[in-house]
């Protein structure tokens, strides 16, 4: 399965699709990126006069690229990946740098384990300067 196919199977659409491209794909991890559009709905109120990407949105980007995209790849032969059902089961994320409108982040995900349709990954997001934006663990169930 290639990157375009994986993105096609994601159960999201704009304005809640946070994957622009996948640049590295393997059964042990995945790398992709997303650029934040200055017109995105969440910048209207976070924060007044000084838009900053909310941490929950950064977590969602890491989950979509690092867990859901990797899960679709891992389950491609077992399930109907055209309609995956996904549930976030846990996350622990530390934040280090703010992300502003029009910035791009690259998400790097490394599989910790995948069993009984539960995928747990160590994920990190880097800005274009190579600075660590956030990192942590995200786990989800895929069926």
Active site residue 91: no
- Contact indicator for 19, 64 with CB cutoff of 8 Å: yes
> Which pair of tokens denotes residue 69?
């995209």
Catalytic residue among 46, 50, 91, 97: 46
SS3 for 21? Answer: strand
Tell me the C-alpha distance between 50 and 101, whole Å. Answer: 10
Annotated active-site positions, please?
A: 46
């Amino acid at each position: 399965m290639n990157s375009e196919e994986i993105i096609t199977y994601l159960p999201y659409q704009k304005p809640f699709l946070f994957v622009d491209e996948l640049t590295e794909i393997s059964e042990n991890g995945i790398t992709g990126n997303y650029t934040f559009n200055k017109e995105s709905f969440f910048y209207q109120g976070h924060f007044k006069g000084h838009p900053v990407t909310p941490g929950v949105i950064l977590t969602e980007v890491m989950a979509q690229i690092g867990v859901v995209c990797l899960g679709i790849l891992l389950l491609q032969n077992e399930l109907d990946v055209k309609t995956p059902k996904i549930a976030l089961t846990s996350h622990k994320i530390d934040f280090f740098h703010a992300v502003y409108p029009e910035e791009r982040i690259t998400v790097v995900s490394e599989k910790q384990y995948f069993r009984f349709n539960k995928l747990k990954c160590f994920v990190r997001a880097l800005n274009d300067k190579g600075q660590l934006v956030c990192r942590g663990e995200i786990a989800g169930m895929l069926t």
